[in-house]
C-alpha cells in the first residue's frame, strides 16, 4: 500500500507520526505521506515537525514523505501556498478539494489544478473541464476511502476516465481504523467503477510517479 494522504497530531489526526507510521507498517505499507492540514498560519511549524519523521526510515522498511494538505484556503492564495510548501520541503502537496461533506470555497478545485498541486483530494462533483485540465497539468484526482468524502467517488472515477485524468487512492487517515490493506484499497478502487488496470494504476503506478517526481 502506498498512501499519500494521511494526518497526524500536527493537525486533526489522532496519532503521533511514529505511531501512524508504525501502524502503516503493520498494514503492509511501503510508503506513506503525512499531509497535515495547513494554511499560512501553521505551514512552517507543521512541515518542520513532519520532516523529522524521516528517522523512521532508518528502522522500518517504509518510505516516509513529508507533505501538506492545503485546506479551506481562498482559491486566489492557493498557488502561493503550493509554492511555499515545496520551498519548505513538502514532497507531496495535496489540496483539500470541493468535497460534498464540507463547505469548501467554490473555485478551489480549479485553483489547485492551476497551482500544480500533486493531488486534488476528494474533489466532489468536479467538472469535466476541470478534470481535463488536471489531466493536462498532471494533477492526480483522489479516490478516497474516507466516509462522507467518498460519496462522489463514482463521479470522480467516471469523469477521470472520460478525460484521461490520473487517479490515486488515498485514505485521508485521521484515526487508526482509517488505514487500509492493499486488498481493501483495491476493492475501494473497483467499487468506484475503475477497471482492474486503472485500479492498479491508482494504487501503484501513479503514487510512484508522484514520489519519484519530487526526490
Looking at residue 135, what is its pLDDT?
A: 98
Does 215 have pLDDT greater than 80? no
Superfamily of segment(s) 2-213: Metal-dependent hydrolases (3.20.20.140)
Q: Average pLDDT for residues 136-157, to the nearest whole number? A: 97
Query: pLDDT tens across 86-120, in order?
Result: 999 999 999 999 999 999 999 999 999 999 999 99
Q: Which residues contact 164 (CB under 8 A, 6 or more apart)?
A: 135
Looking at residue 214, what is its pLDDT?
A: 79
Full-prediction pTM beyond 0.85? yes
State how far the Cα of 79 lies from the Cα of 124, in Å rounded to an integer: 20
Domain limits, the chain: 2-213
**Which grid coordinates belong to 186?**
483495491
Amino acid at each position: 500500500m502506498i498512501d499519500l494522504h494521511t494526518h497526524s497530531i500536527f493537525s486533526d489526526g489522532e496519532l503521533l507520526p511514529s505511531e501512524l507510521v508504525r501502524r502503516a507498517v503493520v498494514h503492509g505499507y511501503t510508503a506513506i505521506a503525512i499531509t497535515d492540514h495547513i494554511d499560512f498560519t501553521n505551514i512552517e511549524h507543521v512541515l518542520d515537525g513532519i520532516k523529522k519523521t524521516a528517522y523512521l526510515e532508518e528502522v522500518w522498511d517504509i518510505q516516509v514523505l513529508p507533505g501538506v494538505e492545503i485546506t479551506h484556503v481562498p482559491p486566489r492564495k492557493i498557488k502561493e501556498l503550493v509554492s511555499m510548501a515545496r520551498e519548505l520541503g513538502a514532497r507531496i502537496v495535496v489540496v483539500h478539494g470541493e468535497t460534498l461533506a464540507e463547505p469548501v470555497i467554490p473555485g478551489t478545485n480549479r485553483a489547485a489544478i492551476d497551482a500544480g498541486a500533486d493531488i486534488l483530494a476528494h474533489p466532489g462533483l468536479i467538472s469535466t473541464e476541470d478534470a481535463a485540465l488536471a489531466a493536462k497539468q498532471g494533477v492526480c484526482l483522489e479516490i478516497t476511502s474516507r466516509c462522507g468524502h467518498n460519496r462522489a467517488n463514482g463521479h470522480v472515477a467516471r469523469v477521470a476516465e472520460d478525460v484521461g485524468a490520473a487517479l490515486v487512492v488515498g485514505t485521508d487517515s485521521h484515526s487508526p481504523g482509517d488505514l487500509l490493506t492493499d486488498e481493501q484499497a483495491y476493492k475501494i478502487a473497483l467499487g468506484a467503477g475503475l477497471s482492474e488496470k486503472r485500479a492498479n494504476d491508482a494504487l501503484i503506478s501513479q503514487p510512484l510517479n508522484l514520489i519519484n517526481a519530487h526526490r
